[in-house]
Amino acid sequence: KSTTVRNIDGSINNIEEDDEEDVVDLAANSLLNKLIRQSLVESSHHVEVLQKDPSSPLYSVKTFEELRLKEELLKGIYALGFNRPSKIQEMALPMMLAHPPQNLIAQSQSGTGKTAAFVLAMLSRVNALELFPQCLCLAPTYELALQTGRVVEQMGKFCVDVQVMYAIRGNRTLCCTALNCDLLELFASKGVLKTLFSPVRRGTDITKQIVIGTPGTVLDWCFKRKLIDLTKIRVFVLDEADVMIDTQGFSDHSIRIQSLFDSRMFLLIYSDAWLAFHGLGQEAKIQWTALTSHGTRVHTAADGSGMKCLKKSDRMLLFSATFEDSVWRFAERIIPDPNVIKLRKEELTLNNIQQYYVLCEHKKDKYQALCNIYGSITIGQAIIFCQTRQNAKWLTMEMIQDGHQVSLLTGELTVEQRASIIQRFRDGKEKVLITTNVCARVGFEHSVLDIAVVTIVGEMRGVRGESGIDVKQVTIVVNFDLPVKQGEEPDYETYLHRIGRTGRFGKKGLAFNMIEVDKLPLLMKIQDHFNSIIKQLNAEDMDEIE
């Protein structure tokens, strides 16, 4: 069964039903990513200027003070622990905050500070004395909406008169996991939510300045219930738009925006996925179509009803974690003379990583080898990858019986459970994390689990190294089974993802591969592919570990 949808660039896509699951996974992945991310993803690259609008000065800031922000906003930023703008923010913030803003297309990977940037833009453009919605932000699921809300609330902590409201349905239909106690607890433990969801009665005036919500409910509030006057919206953000407007097409919470904009009227931001319009111009007609899981149109406002022109036009911004061709085509069509900046993604490398392998006969042997490694070096924490859930469960039981503090992360768990396991591991409550490739089906970000895990490893090393705690302890990554693709080819990318980031920024990583004899050729292929040496260890004598 398939559904036909029109892409943002005008092309047509047939969406297979299967894709819908991937969308749910994408939203879940984004959420997991956000839940576990605790700090900026560092980059050793500089922001590159790919194209410059000849008429606009291009400048960057090294400090937040230079941006001349409201005092209370600056306090909020420092309270969050931000000392200076991230690399992408250095260049993007002046453009986002300039009067008039500059057209900008920017690309940087997730975790580099885009959300913080657009939240800052929203907060700085809000007039706290005006009691109506001025910023509108759409997110694919309400868990993601809450995440962004949290950033607004934290950063806006000292902007006491600025308030956030969530346009999310009580009996929500648009998200992938139920709002459950776990999640609320997690949010509660991570920060404060000033506003929770209360039903909004017809005819009630919304007095909060920032509204964050899911597409269906937001559209409902704008067009059906007329709770939000779009002509008063100064910043419109479409967060995680690539989840919603995926260029491949699809989805029950996807939103398609087809627009007949006149060229200079809105600010548009595209993040990991997001788009934001700053103001809607003369005769703007927007068609928002949120599709239900069956492809039915549930909300359409194609006639521009409720949308008059906004004051003066503004410029556009577009951020993206990835630039698919279709996103580019879309961007280029609607953004005239943009500045284009890009922060290259950090390459994963195996350079600083000592890789070893131990030849084993069967899984008990592998386990014994693991015990021997434990006997030879002081291991702080270990992340162990298994190919199947069955193996992962078996290993978990074995290790628990031997007195290890182990947690098991598999695809059966909900996003919140996964986030909480990762959090506990990060807090050091468990020393061993055993896992499978829980999201291997989603090619999009490879496996979010890998990302999650390598992020943790990266962060743990960074944080502990700097604070001087635990520096002698090492975190190891173990391939209890080698990552393989169907047809028994090595899965090089997964191998790199699992291990690669442990060695970033000059940090030294340790990785072990437990290999059955018949899998040795696969390991050799990996070695050749990466042109890096994987040393053999004698299972009985691990003294060679450096």
What is the contact surface with ligand ADP in residues (CB under 6 A)?
A: 37-40, 82, 85-86, 89, 110-116, 271-272
Question: In the bound complex, what is the minimum distance in angstroms from residue 105's beta carbon to ligand ADP?
Answer: 15
The alpha carbon of 252 is separated from its chain's Cα centroid by a whole number of angstroms, namely 20
Question: In the bound complex, what is the minimum distance in angstroms from residue 40's beta carbon to ligand ADP?
Answer: 4
Instruction: Provide the token pair at 320.
Output: 């993206």
Question: In the bound complex, what is the minimum distance in angstroms from residue 330's beta carbon to ligand ADP?
Answer: 20
Residue 120 vs 395, nearer CB to ligand ADP: 120
Question: In the bound complex, what is the minimum distance in angstroms from residue 426's beta carbon to ligand ADP?
Answer: 13
H helical segments located in 358-491: 363-376, 389-401, 415-426, 448-467
Residue 89 vs 289, nearer CB to ligand ADP: 89
Q: Say what the alpha-carbon torsion angle 463, 465, 471, 477 is, to the nearest 10 degrees.
A: 60
Q: Using a CB cutoff of 8 Å and minimum separation of 24, what contacts does 536-542 make?
A: 536/356, 536/357, 536/358, 536/359, 537/356, 537/357, 537/358, 537/369, 537/512, 538/358, 539/358, 539/359, 539/360, 539/365, 539/368, 539/369, 539/372, 540/372, 542/372, 542/373, 542/375, 542/376, 542/377
Residue 154 vs 248, nearer CB to ligand ADP: 154
Residue 114 vs 519, nearer CB to ligand ADP: 114
Contact call for residues 150 and 76 (beta carbons, < 8 A): no
Residue 111 vs 213, nearer CB to ligand ADP: 111
Question: In the bound complex, what is the minimum distance in angstroms from residue 115's beta carbon to ligand ADP?
Answer: 3
Residue 38 vs 51, nearer CB to ligand ADP: 38
Contact call for residues 299 and 291 (beta carbons, < 8 A): no
Residue 38 vs 180, nearer CB to ligand ADP: 38
Contact call for residues 135 and 211 (beta carbons, < 8 A): yes
Q: Strand ranges (DSSP E) for 150-250?
A: 164-167, 210-213, 235-238
Length of the chain: 546
Within 10 A of 400 (CB to CB), how many other CB atoms are there? 15
Residue 455 vs 502, nearer CB to ligand ADP: 455
Question: In the bound complex, what is the minimum distance in angstroms from residue 48's beta carbon to ligand ADP?
Answer: 17
Residue 40 vs 200, nearer CB to ligand ADP: 40
Question: In the bound complex, what is the minimum distance in angstroms from residue 138's beta carbon to ligand ADP?
Answer: 15
CA angle 299, 210, 65 (to 5 degrees): 140
Question: In the bound complex, what is the minimum distance in angstroms from residue 458's beta carbon to ligand ADP?
Answer: 13
Contact call for residues 206 and 218 (beta carbons, < 8 A): no
Rounded to the nearest 10 degrees, what angle do helices 520-530 and 492-500 cross at?
A: 70
- Run of H or E residues at 428: none
Question: In the bound complex, what is the minimum distance in angstroms from residue 79's beta carbon to ligand ADP?
Answer: 11
Residue 271 vs 494, nearer CB to ligand ADP: 271
Residue 111 vs 483, nearer CB to ligand ADP: 111
- Run of H or E residues at 361: none
H helical segments located in 191-283: 215-219, 241-244
Question: In the bound complex, what is the minimum distance in angstroms from residue 155's beta carbon to ligand ADP?
Answer: 9
Amino acid letter, residue 47? V
What is the full DSSP assignment across 450-475? HHHHHHHHHHHHHHHHHHTSSTTSEE
Q: 3-state class of 127 per DSSP?
A: coil
Question: In the bound complex, what is the minimum distance in angstroms from residue 168's beta carbon to ligand ADP?
Answer: 20
